[in-house]
Structure formats: C-alpha cells, structure tokens
Amino acid sequence: MSANRTALYGQPDHDLAPTAPDAVQLSPLVVGSTNLADVDDAVFDAVTVRAPAGAVERRYVLAQALRTLAAGGRLTVFAPKDRGGLRLKKELQALGCEVGESARRHHRICVALRPAVITGLQETIDAGAPRQIAENGLWTQPGVFSWDRLDAGTNALLQVLPSFSGVGADFGSGIGLLALNVLASPKVTKLSLVELDRRAIEVSGRNITDPRAEIVWADARQSGLKDLDFIVSNPPFHEGGGEDKSLGQAFIRAAAAALRKGGALWIVANRHLPYEAILAESFAKVRLVAEGGGYKVFEAKT
Ligand SMILES: C[S@@+](CC[C@H](N)C(=O)[O-])C[C@H]1O[C@@H](n2cnc3c(N)ncnc32)[C@H](O)[C@@H]1O
C-alpha cells in the first residue's frame, strides 16, 4: 500500500467533510481508482466516504472502509438525509462503532473511530460482494446498475436489436447484457464495452469471455474510439443522485463522433427524456424504431 494514510470514497465535499487533496481515491466510479476490496487491513489513518444510496452497497462500503482503518483511525461518512443519511448512524453502530452525528445542508455526517472488533464484518462484506445470479448465471454486484434484475429499458432495446456486423461498441455496458446479445451475431468482429463503474467492468469480464470483446474502463464521453460500424447504448441519466439528461445527450454526441460515416447508433431512452433534438443535430438520419412501456428506441445514422 502507498505511504498515503488517508483515503476518500466518492467525490469530496470539503464543506461537509474536509479531505486531504492527496487522499487515495477508492470509488469504483472514478477511473483509475484503487479497489477498496484490494486494500490491506489497517492501512489508513482516516477514510472519508460519500455514502452510496443503496443499502446493501452502503453497508459493504462502510464495513470495507472500517477494515482498512488502522487502530484509532477515523471514518467520516456523509449522505443526503433522504438517500441513506438518516440510516448511517444505526448502520455504523451495527458494525460496532460509537458514532458522532451532525447535520448540515440536508445531509447527515457521521464520525466514528475504528472499533477494536468490527461486528458482522465478513457477513456485511459477503452481502455486498460480487455474486452470480442463479437464473441466468451472470455475475453482478450490489451497486452496479440494475444489479439484480433486467432493466426495462435494456429489455426494450433487446426486443428490437438487429443482428450487427463489423466493429462496434456498447456505451455504458454495465454487466454486459446488451453486449452478450450483440456478440450472438457471428458477423461482429469486435465489440468494445465502455463502462465507468469498475465493479461492472469486473463482473462483465467474468460474464463475457468472447475474444471479440474488449472491456474498457473509461468514460464513454471520452472513449477515443473511431470509425465504428455500430454502437448500442442504454445511457445513464443519473449522476450524483439526481436526474441528468445532459449525460445521455453527451453519450449521443460521443457516439456520433465514434462512428464511421453511415454507422448506426441504437439507443433506448425513457420516454420523457429529450434526446430527439440532439439526435437530429448529431446524425444525418434518425428513426424511431419502437415506443412503448415508457421507453423509446432510436436508430440514428451518421
Ligand atoms: C442505464 S445503464 C445500462 C447498463 C447496461 N448496458 C444494460 O443495459 O443493462 C448505464 C450504464 O452506464 C454507466 N455509466 C455512467 N456514466 C458513464 C460514463 N460517463 N461512461 C461510461 N459509462 C457510464 C453506468 O455505470 C451504467 O452501467
């Protein structure tokens, strides 16, 4: 482990919890970050966590963070009140911590020293660790997008996906469901799965062993890919806890830039999301392929 003795999980908020500028970043949503699960026990003096909203994921992160603290090390955790903040204190107490709690800007901030014994450490880590879904054998992990069920948007896209050929990409590939379907076509020669969440990268690597697949831990808005024949995407539309339509719009622009002339983007969107104008601006031809169940699927050609 590096000599740096402080760590941070998630984007800092210096107003809620001052963090050293050189803290080791542990969030799976930051490309290049350190995997919390790989950090040795008792190496940090202080860890700050922007706690995720999902309960199983959050408890896993809290347990792992406590594990990485040296004796007497300090854990600072914060979350919006309505996105797990109100549960932080109890969750830390359940792990054996004595907790100081404060409130600021609709957040709860909890501070705890590493207890001598972390209660239920292994069970909490096991509950949030990667696992295989019994029904389909796919690997997933709590916290990854739609980790325990098929997303309705993904399903809408799967219903109408054509059989592709050539070189393509899946922007925001998650655990690899769409990619698996794309690779069912023998005419696909290469498929890049571009994904920001390291946990999704890891499990999709287990789900997809096809040598035509390349799994890329990167921001799809800066994938660097060029001259692709096709792209599929069920783009994200949440960032930092809120809806962010600009994310999907940026995916559309990035897809247009990564396709060859005449290349096609197949994209699904919630019906209420305003993607039509960006699609029309970025592509020569846009076709609404399907609409229903709250979703729209478009084919857009450069
Ligand atoms: C709506 S999900 C779709 C996942 C998968 N393709 C599916 O259909 O089940 C969007 C995915 O995009 C990922 N993501 C979010 N922001 C991203 C970014 N800037 N670059 C690449 N992937 C991103 C999320 O982690 C998530 O896995």
Q: What is the CATH number of the domain that holds 93?
A: 3.40.50.150
Is there a domain that residue 65 lies in? yes
The whole-number pLDDT of residue 241 equals 61
Domain boundary among 128, 158, 187: 128
Nearest CA to ligand 1 atom 19: 219
Q: Which atom of ligand 1 is nearest to the CA of 150?
A: 9
Find residue 208's DSSP bridge partners: none
Q: Same domain, yes or no, for 33 and 164?
A: no
Is there a domain that residue 174 lies in? yes
Domain boundary among 68, 94, 128: 128
The whole-number pLDDT of residue 86 equals 98
Q: Same domain, yes or no, for 138 and 263?
A: yes
Beta strands in 117-236 (DSSP E): 131-132, 139-140, 166-171, 188-195, 213-217, 228-233
Determine if ligand 1 sits within 6 Å of the CB of residue 172. Answer: yes
Q: Same domain, yes or no, for 104 and 144?
A: no
Per-residue pLDDT of the chain in tens (302 residues, 90 and over written 9): 446 799 999 999 999 999 999 999 999 999 999 999 999 999 999 999 999 999 999 999 999 999 999 999 999 999 999 999 999 999 999 999 999 999 999 999 999 999 999 999 999 999 999 999 988 899 999 999 999 888 999 999 999 999 999 999 999 999 999 999 999 999 999 999 999 999 999 999 999 999 999 999 999 999 999 999 999 999 998 766 666 788 999 999 999 999 999 999 999 999 888 899 999 999 999 999 999 999 999 999 99
- The arrangement of strands across the sheet holding 24-25 comes to 24-25, 6-9, 44-50, 69-80, 107-113, 99-104
181: number of Cβ within 10 Å: 17
Is there a domain that residue 85 lies in? yes
The whole-number pLDDT of residue 245 equals 80
Cα separation, 275 vs 250, whole angstroms: 10
- Provide the 3-class DSSP secondary structure of residue 1: coil
- The separation between CA 14 and the C-alpha centre of its own chain, rounded to angstroms, equals 23
Determine if ligand 1 sits within 6 Å of the CB of residue 151. Answer: yes
The whole-number pLDDT of residue 3 equals 60
Closest Cα to residue 227, out of 166, 300, 164, 162?
Answer: 166
Is there a domain that residue 138 lies in? yes
State pLDDT tens for residues 143-202.
999 998 889 999 999 999 999 999 999 999 999 999 999 999 999 999 999 999 999 999
**99-104 and 188-195: which strand pairing?**
unpaired
The whole-number pLDDT of residue 135 equals 86
Query: Could you give the count of Cα atoms lying within 13 Å of 148 in the half-sphere of its Cβ?
Result: 10
Q: Which atom of ligand 1 is nearest to the CA of 236?
A: 10
Q: Which domain holds residue 173?
A: 131-301
Query: Could you give the count of Cα atoms lying within 13 Å of 260 in the half-sphere of its Cβ?
Result: 8
**Mutate-to-test residue for ligand 1 from 196, 232, 252, highest number of ligand atoms within 8 A of CB:** 196
Closest Cα to residue 266, out of 144, 166, 169?
Answer: 169
Centre of ligand 1 from the C-alpha of residue 199, in Å: 11
Maximum separation of any 2 CA atoms in the chain, in Å? 63
Q: Same domain, yes or no, for 155 and 279?
A: yes
Is there a domain that residue 252 lies in? yes
Q: Same domain, yes or no, for 256 and 217?
A: yes
Beta strands in the chain (DSSP E): 6-9, 24-25, 44-50, 69-80, 99-104, 107-113, 131-132, 139-140, 166-171, 188-195, 213-217, 228-233, 238-239, 242-243, 259-270, 285-292, 295-301
Is there a domain that residue 194 lies in? yes
Q: Same domain, yes or no, for 164 and 113?
A: no
Rounded to a whole number of angstroms, the distance between the first and last alpha carbons of the chain is 47
The whole-number pLDDT of residue 242 equals 66
Nearest CA to ligand 1 atom 2: 236
The whole-number pLDDT of residue 1 equals 45
Determine if ligand 1 sits within 6 Å of the CB of residue 298. Answer: no
Is there a domain that residue 1 lies in? no
Q: Same domain, yes or no, for 293 and 265?
A: yes
Q: Same domain, yes or no, for 143 and 188?
A: yes
The whole-number pLDDT of residue 56 equals 98
Cα separation, 231 vs 288, whole angstroms: 16
Cα separation, 21 vs 149, whole angstroms: 38
Q: Same domain, yes or no, for 138 and 209?
A: yes
Domain boundary among 78, 96, 128: 128
Q: Same domain, yes or no, for 152 and 265?
A: yes
Determine if ligand 1 sits within 6 Å of the CB of residue 173. Answer: yes
Cα separation, 210 vs 221, whole angstroms: 25
Cα separation, 42 vs 73, whole angstroms: 8
Centre of ligand 1 from the C-alpha of residue 152, in Å: 14
Domain count across the chain: 2
Centre of ligand 1 from the C-alpha of residue 164, in Å: 21
Q: Same domain, yes or no, for 212 and 148?
A: yes
Is there a domain that residue 41 lies in? yes
Contacts of 266 (CB under 8 A, 6+ apart): 157, 160, 161, 162, 230, 231, 232, 233, 289, 297, 298, 299
Q: Same domain, yes or no, for 244 and 265?
A: yes
